Amino acid sequence: MATTQGKFGLLQRMHNGTGGYDFYKRMKLAAREVARGETPASSILSQLQSIKRDSERNHNVQMANHFVDWWIAQIGAVAEAERPTGRYKTPEMNFGVRLTPELAYNCGAVSYVTYLWATNLPKLTRQAAGAGLFMLRSELAKDKFRKVKFQILDLRQKRLYEEDCITNQSSSILQADIAQINAMWKDIIPKAA
């Protein structure tokens, strides 16, 4: 997990701007296009080669390759056109968390919604994945997505976290993180005004 100082810096950047630069946005959009059959993987990889910054280009291509390898291994998987989106916000929160998983798909008789994790830091642990999956399930398991299984695909570690990561403590862990961020958020708001 990120340090308190690191979280505080991130919150300051979020409060004073548009939320920051998503280093992997192009790769995540490309992954969805590949899964939906809209664009061949080779075309997406060549498009990602046009990213000017070396580190950004290299990491995006690497994560896209990891996604393509994973997707190909999902024999019989069919991506859906729609995916759930939402905003997680409890009454005590001074902020909301935008939830936009990249992929919804069916494999056999099972429907899945998958969030792609591509960042190096903070590292995604089983405990953190459990809290994230709890949040996704709490907010997005509605209507036609009521019975889906939620997943987080860690493209860095090439590891898939599924709902078995949600434990009895996942809700408490999420609420503790929210309380900590809330406290930092309250400190930022007066300073930014």
pLDDT in tens, 96-117: 899 999 999 999 999 999 999 9
Question: Residue 83's pLDDT is what?
Answer: 96
Domains of the chain: which residue ranges? 4-192
φ, ψ for residue 37 (rounded to 5)?
75, 15
30 against 158, higher pLDDT: 158
- Six-digit token string for 178: 């929210």
Distance (Å) of CA 85 to CA 42, 91, 161: 28, 19, 19
Cβ neighbours, 10 Å, residue 55: 9
Choose the most confident range, by mean pLDDT, from 10-14, 95-99, 139-143. Answer: 139-143
Q: DSSP letter at 109?
A: T
pLDDT in tens, 162-191: 999 999 999 999 999 999 888 887 776 655
Residue with tokens 């759930």: 84
